Amino acid sequence: MKALAGYHPAVLFFYFAAVLLTAMFVRHPVLLAESFVGAILLFAALESRKQFFSQLLFSVLLALAVTLTNPLFSHNGVTPLFFINGNPVTLEAVFYGAAIGCMTASVLLWCRCFQILFTGDKLMYLIGRPLPRVSLVFSLTLRFVPLFLQKRREISQAQKAMGLFGSGSISERAHSLFRTCSALFDWSLSYAMETAAAMKARGYGLAHRTNFHLYVWRRSDSIFLIFSGMTALFVAISFARGELRYAYYPAAQRFWEQPPLLAGAAFLLLVFLPSFLEIKESLKWKYYVSKI
């Protein structure tokens, strides 16, 4: 059981929106490093070991690729390391590429964590009341795509079993593909008509409709929302006041001389909060299992 999965969808959406906006728009290396480490810890707590190492390897390789390619296209900076075809590879360009690579990798990891925790039913719950038509189209699309792919496989297998699926010349394969698309088109029209009739029979579109959901606002949701909101607000105020500005060019600033202590501490608490909750839930579960 994932600890964060039990929180209200609105709380989870606000939290990930605050973290992602900060990770995408704040370029200070301290906050970028905190975002990257926090994303790694949360993804490790949510995913299996195999998936974690696979995604971590991809993220690290992506960050390294951005770090190494940025100095090849950007030659700004006052500290040249070496020259390639007369073009300088500067320390500032390497540092800026590392920051952008770290930002990109952390955003991908946060999005992956969001995908794990924020399921389709939670998204439908959030947009169902304010945008009922959009939520209906979205849910029907999510359902129709896998059905469409499954039906395509069934039609292709049936044609192969009947010996109608050509595998010789290009014209035979094109003719077989046309038969498959024609059958899929007929099925999609009939499926849409059946869905519309079923929805009409169940009273969709009538006034005073009710919505069923299992999400209840609890005290823990309020505490989580207040804590994440206060830390995110502190980071936003620091960003608006210019305390998180950082210049990579022409010479990179020494961030350790004037580090953003308060904003860095607030963002550190924000990104490490879900990992702490997941670790706490895991330890509690192991303790209860040991008592059985």
Whole-number Å distance between alpha carbons of 112 and 44: 11
Tell the burial category of 139 from Cβ atoms under 10 Å away from its Cβ (0-12, 13-18, 19+): middle
Same domain, 153 and 9: no
Q: What is the pLDDT of residue 210?
A: 66
Same domain, 101 and 225: yes
How would you classify residue 58: left for phi > 0, otherwise alpha for psi between -120 and 50, otherwise beta?
alpha
Same domain, 106 and 228: yes
Q: What is the pLDDT of residues 243-288, one digit of tens each?
A: 788 777 777 767 665 667 788 888 889 999 888 888 888 888 887 8
| Cross-strand partners of 83 | 88
Q: What is the pLDDT of residue 170?
A: 72
> Does residue 206 belong to any structural domain of this protein?
no
Whether residue 190 is predicted with pLDDT greater than 80 in this model: the reply is yes
Of 148, 167, 201, the residue that ends a domain is: 201
> Does residue 91 belong to any structural domain of this protein?
yes
Helices 91-117 and 29-46, axial angle in degrees (round to 10): 30
How much of the chain exceeds pLDDT 70, in percent?
88
Same domain, 221 and 107: yes
Whole-number Å distance between alpha carbons of 124 and 213: 10
Same domain, 233 and 195: no
Over residues 85-104, the mean pLDDT reads 83
Contact of 59 with 37, CB cutoff 8 Å: no
> Does residue 109 belong to any structural domain of this protein?
yes
Band (1; pLDDT cuts 50, 70, 90):
low
- Per-residue tokens: 44: 């490790």
Over residues 18-27, the mean pLDDT reads 89
Contact of 93 with 135, CB cutoff 8 Å: no
Across all residues in the chain, what is the average pLDDT?
A: 81
Among 292, 189, 226, smallest CA distance to 8 is for 226
Same domain, 246 and 101: yes
Same domain, 237 and 191: no
Whole-number Å distance between alpha carbons of 31 and 106: 11
Q: What is the pLDDT of residue 216?
A: 83
Of 162, 180, 201, the residue that ends a domain is: 201
Same domain, 168 and 77: no
Highest mean pLDDT among 74-78, 101-105, 127-131, 150-154: 101-105
Q: Which domain holds residue 9?
A: 4-124+213-290
Same domain, 197 and 233: no
Same domain, 21 and 112: yes
Band (16; pLDDT cuts 50, 70, 90):
very high
- Per-residue tokens: 135: 């939520």
Whole-number Å distance between alpha carbons of 224 and 233: 14
> How many structural domains are present in the chain?
2
Q: What is the pLDDT of residue 14?
A: 92
> Does residue 207 belong to any structural domain of this protein?
no
Same domain, 253 and 115: yes
Whole-number Å distance between alpha carbons of 27 and 7: 30
Over residues 205-215, the mean pLDDT reads 68
Same domain, 223 and 92: yes
Among 14, 19, 25, smallest CA distance to 37 is for 19
Band (15; pLDDT cuts 50, 70, 90):
very high
Contact of 281 with 4, CB cutoff 8 Å: no
Whether the full predicted model's pTM is greater than 0.85, yes or no, is no
Highest mean pLDDT among 203-217, 218-232, 236-250: 218-232
Over residues 144-149, the mean pLDDT reads 80
Of 141, 168, 201, the residue that ends a domain is: 201
Sequential DSSP letters for 130-170: T-HHHHHHHHHHHHHHHHHHHHHHHHHHHHHHTT-S--SSH
